[in-house]
């Protein structure tokens, strides 16, 4: 490992889009966020950089910059320049490593991977499984490796936590050769978030994660559920793609697989148009015209019947998964709400948990309406199932996992990439 990584005190986290870079920097010793930022309009006439920087008094100051950025490499150069000027990261050697969010790791990656050319080729080979996400993730990795050639880079995969699913949970009832030759199966997503909040819930409860059975609910514009038995994920609602499962902001979630065929035949729609409808025009937006749950709830409270239907459908689908996953787990110790909706909507939490007393799930509405802190319990006193609201922090989790896998590989004396599964 480079000497710079040995003495680095900071960890960078990168999440790249096709024309954007979202980034955060953490102090690895104190476990605190030093800066978070977003560069947009890469490749456009004028790039826009916004960042929040931690001040000595614990508050964050907002900074905005504009500059034409032809590509992601120029964007990283610009970020590094601003960070030097603002004394955030004055030398590359301050970085211990850089963690990259990568959406799809397929069956190859069960844990984070220290990035080398072999890992790059493997991520590139998974593009057919994530054509919208893995290419920009690769762009960011390539640009970061060029700008920071001496700093170890680590890929952290959204799918990795779900690689413990048993075959009965991850296989689809389609011809076997579709799995054997084309890897058509359930992968699941939001794995970094599900693992983070499960661990935080265990810490809050004062019990080892390995002793707990829980259902984690990541509810936001994208939404998913995970069934976790003794710290291991055994089922999850998203599938081959993030389209399956819960109703989301603009995604339909579960539906009859014949519906796309019907739309193509009856309405003469193209495959691309059907995909666009199901991914970008469905979900809450398709039902009532709005994909932000806050607006949906406000409109429902003011008598908008479509908004009320959207709210009810969203909560009903979550409730169905709680019932199904309780059956899968056999014993349920905790239900955990997280994500933008899960953390902030007391109305959704209340509706989801209504009439689940037979499963041991009951809410104390006073506690539900006054959630504070990183973790809070909202069940009735004496309820057999603990119901928690836990703040997710995927960026911090990526930083922690990147640091851990790098230190682990050094301790083992492994080659740079110990995490690529043997096939």
How do strand 10-16 and strand 95-102 relate by DSSP bridges?
parallel
Tokens found for residue 374: 């990183």
| Helix 72-85 vs helix 134-147: crossing angle, to nearest 10 | 50
What is the DSSP-derived secondary structure letter of residue 2? Answer: -
Active site residues: 158
Q: Residue 16: name the closest of 147, 107, 185 by CA.
A: 147
Distance, in Å, from the CA atom of 283 to the CA atom of 319, rounded to the nearest integer, reads 16
**Maximum separation of any 2 CA atoms in the chain, in Å:** 64
C-alpha distance from residue 321 to each of 155, 168, 318, 401 (Å): 30, 17, 5, 28
| Helix 293-301 vs helix 346-353: crossing angle, to nearest 10 | 80
Say how many residues make up the chain. Answer: 423
Distance, in Å, from the CA atom of 268 to the CA atom of 294, rounded to the nearest integer, reads 35
Tokens found for residue 243: 């389209």
Tell me which residue has tokens 């056999």: 330
Q: Residue 193: name the closest of 410, 404, 394, 399 by CA.
A: 394
Would you say the C-alpha torsion 228, 230, 234, 239 has a positive or negative sign? positive
Three-class DSSP category at 202: helix
For the residues of 165-196, what is the DSSP string, one character each?
--HHHH--SS-HHHHHHH--S---S-HHHHHH
Distance, in Å, from the CA atom of 48 to the CA atom of 268, rounded to the nearest integer, reads 41
Burial 75-95 (b: 16+ CB within 10 A, else e): bbebbbebbeeeebbeebbbb
Tokens found for residue 39: 């560069």
Tell me which residue has tokens 């995490």: 419
Side-chain half-sphere exposure of 403, counting CA atoms within 13 A: 22
Distance, in Å, from the CA atom of 255 to the CA atom of 391, rounded to the nearest integer, reads 30
Three-class DSSP category at 105: coil
């Amino acid at each position: 490992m480079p000497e710079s990584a040995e003495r680095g005190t900071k960890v960078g986290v990168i999440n790249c889009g096709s024309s954007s870079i979202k980034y955060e920097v953490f102090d690895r010793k104190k476990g605190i966020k030093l800066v978070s930022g977003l560069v947009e309009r890469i490749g456009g006439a004028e790039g826009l950089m916004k960042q929040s920087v931690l001040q000595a008094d614990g508050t964050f100051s907002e900074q905005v910059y504009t500059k034409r950025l032809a590509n992601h490499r120029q964007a990283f150069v610009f970020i590094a320049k601003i960070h030097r000027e603002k004394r955030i990261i004055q030398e590359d050697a301050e970085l211990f490593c850089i963690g990259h969010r990568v959406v799809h790791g397929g069956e190859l990656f069960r844990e984070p991977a220290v990035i080398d050319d072999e890992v790059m080729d493997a991520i590139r080979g998974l593009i057919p499984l994530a054509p919208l996400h893995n290419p920009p993730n690769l762009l960011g990795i390539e640009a970061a490796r060029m700008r920071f050639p001496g700093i170890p880079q680590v890929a952290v995969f959204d799918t990795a936590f779900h690689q413990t699913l048993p075959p009965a949970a991850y296989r689809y009832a389609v011809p076997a050769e579709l799995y054997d030759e084309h890897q058509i199966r359930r992968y699941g997503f939001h794995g970094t978030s599900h693992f983070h909040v499960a661990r935080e819930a265990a810490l809050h409860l004062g019990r080892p994660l390995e002793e707990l059975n829980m259902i984690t609910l990541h509810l936001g514009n994208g939404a998913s559920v995970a069934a976790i038995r003794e710290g291991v994920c055994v089922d999850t609602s998203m599938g081959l793609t993030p389209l399956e499962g819960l109703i989301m902001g603009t995604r339909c979630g579960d539906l009859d697989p014949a519906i796309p065929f019907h739309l193509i035949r009856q309405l003469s729609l193209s495959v691309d148009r059907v995909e666009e409808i199901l991914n970008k025009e469905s979900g809450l937006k398709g039902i009532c015209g709005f994909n932000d749950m806050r607006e949906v709830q406000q409109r429902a409270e003011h008598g908008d019947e479509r908004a009320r239907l959207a709210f009810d459908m969203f909560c009903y689908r979550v409730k169905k998964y709680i019932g199904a996953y309780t059956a899968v787990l056999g014993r349920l110790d905790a239900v955990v709400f997280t994500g933008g909706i899960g953390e902030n909507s007391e109305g959704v939490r209340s509706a989801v948990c209504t009439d689940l007393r037979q499963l041991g799930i009951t809410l104390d509405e006073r506690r539900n309406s006054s959630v504070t802190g990183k973790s809070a319990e909202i069940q009735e006193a004496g309820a057999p199932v603990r119901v928690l609201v836990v703040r997710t922090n995927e960026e911090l989790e990526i930083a922690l996992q990147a640091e851990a896998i790098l230190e682990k590989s050094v301790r083992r004396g492994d080659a740079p990439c110990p995490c690529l599964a043997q096939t």
